[in-house]
Structure 1
Amino acid sequence: MNTDDSLQNPDEHVRFAAYLDQLQQVTDADEINLVSRVLTDPDQTMARSAVLRHLDRRAADLHPGSAYEGWAQAMTQATIVHPFLAQRLQEWSLFRAVMLKLPWRPDDLLGASNWLQLKSAAGANTDAIKVLADVGRTKRIRNTARAHLNLLSES
């Protein structure tokens, strides 16, 4: 199937799969244009979902390195009119700060989504894990943080 043809398909599932495929293969130079184009799809829920998966994949790959900052700024500009995507990028930046032990504020982590709190509770920053073990938003987050602290103390 020609990917361009699939993007004209009225079935959002076909377009979603085509977008994911294109986003997986996009070059750095074309990434912003492709993300912007995907976000013009009439099915905004599907388009944002495809871009969210892409952002999560790329941020997971890039967050430990210096290339992350420029990428995150560019993606923030491409997604600025989509609050959930912009928030996710901000949370990836906070996650990066926590994991790399860059400056971060406990209140920012405590005000973050369950997604970020849970991800951080299973991370490597014991200061963040202790905060989440004590006052994480949900019982699941607190339990995950406590269990992770126990694992870290045993090793």
Structure 2
Amino acid sequence: MSSPTDGPAEPDEHHRYACHLQALANVDADDEPTLVNEILQDPDQVMAESAVARHIDDRARLLLTDERFPGWAHTMTGVIGERDFLTRRLTEWTLLATIAQDKPWAPAQVTEASDWFQRKAVEVLTSPDALALLAGQGRTRRVRATAERRQVRRLT
């Protein structure tokens, strides 16, 4: 019998989620595709995709300006398959990397991207063109204001 100080037991999916995140945080680049694929086989698809999305966010942020980003993104595309949310998130990180690496991009890609993308862009990008575009045409007041502040900060 449990004591009153033990509290309720952690649900199994919470434990698996934490284990997935821990494994992903420590995975070697060579083993990453296999581990992501294994996690995506979890019976709780929402939880599994959430863990993989968090991993994509963490890894993409680390590789944003790295020449290895395109190869990593290509590999992950093959692993995540037809999962809409994960595909969209990886596609948006790829656009962020394209801009961060000063490769060609189109303004419509930025203005038509999701709110998440625009918020992340004003957080991580330093491109004067991207920040100016978002300061003038960002979808939300928050994005426009943050882009404007980031532009001013770059000029001072």
> TM-score if structure 1 supplies the norm length?
0.89
The sequence identity of aligned pairs, in percent, is: 41
1:38 to partner: Cα distance: 0.6
Bigger mean CA offset, 59-68 vs 101-110: 59-68
> Which aligned runs of 4 or more in structure 1 are off by greater than 3 angstroms?
none
1:104 to partner: Cα distance: 0.4
- Find the aligned partners of 1:91 and 1:149 in 2 and give their Cα distance: 22
Q: Which residue of 1 aligns with 2:109?
A: 108
Q: Which residue of 2 aligns with 1:64?
A: 65
- Find the aligned partners of 1:65 and 1:148 in 2 and give their Cα distance: 22
Q: Which residue of 1 aligns with 2:144?
A: 142
Q: Which residue of 1 aligns with 2:7?
A: none
- Where 2:58 maps in the other structure, the secondary structure is helix
1:10 to partner: Cα distance: 6.4
Q: Which residue of 2 aligns with 1:54?
A: 55
- Find the aligned partners of 1:66 and 1:147 in 2 and give their Cα distance: 29
- Find the aligned partners of 1:120 and 1:62 in 2 and give their Cα distance: 15
Bigger mean CA offset, 114-123 vs 31-40: 114-123
Q: Which residue of 1 aligns with 2:99?
A: 98
Q: Which has the higher helix share?
A: 1
Amino acid at match of 2:127: N
Gaps of 5+ in 1: 1-8
Q: Deviations over 1:100-126 (max 9, x none)?
A: 211000100111111221222232101
Q: Which residue of 1 aligns with 2:130?
A: 128
Q: Which residue of 1 aligns with 2:25?
A: 24
1:63 to partner: Cα distance: 2.1
Q: Which residue of 2 aligns with 1:33?
A: 34
- Find the aligned partners of 1:111 and 1:95 in 2 and give their Cα distance: 13
- Find the aligned partners of 1:98 and 1:114 in 2 and give their Cα distance: 17
Q: Deviations over 1:10-37 (max 9, x none)?
A: 6100000000011111112211111011
Q: Is the 8 A contact 2:131 2:151 kept in 1?
A: yes
Aligned length: 146
Q: 1:10 to 1:50 in 2, by over 3 A?
A: same
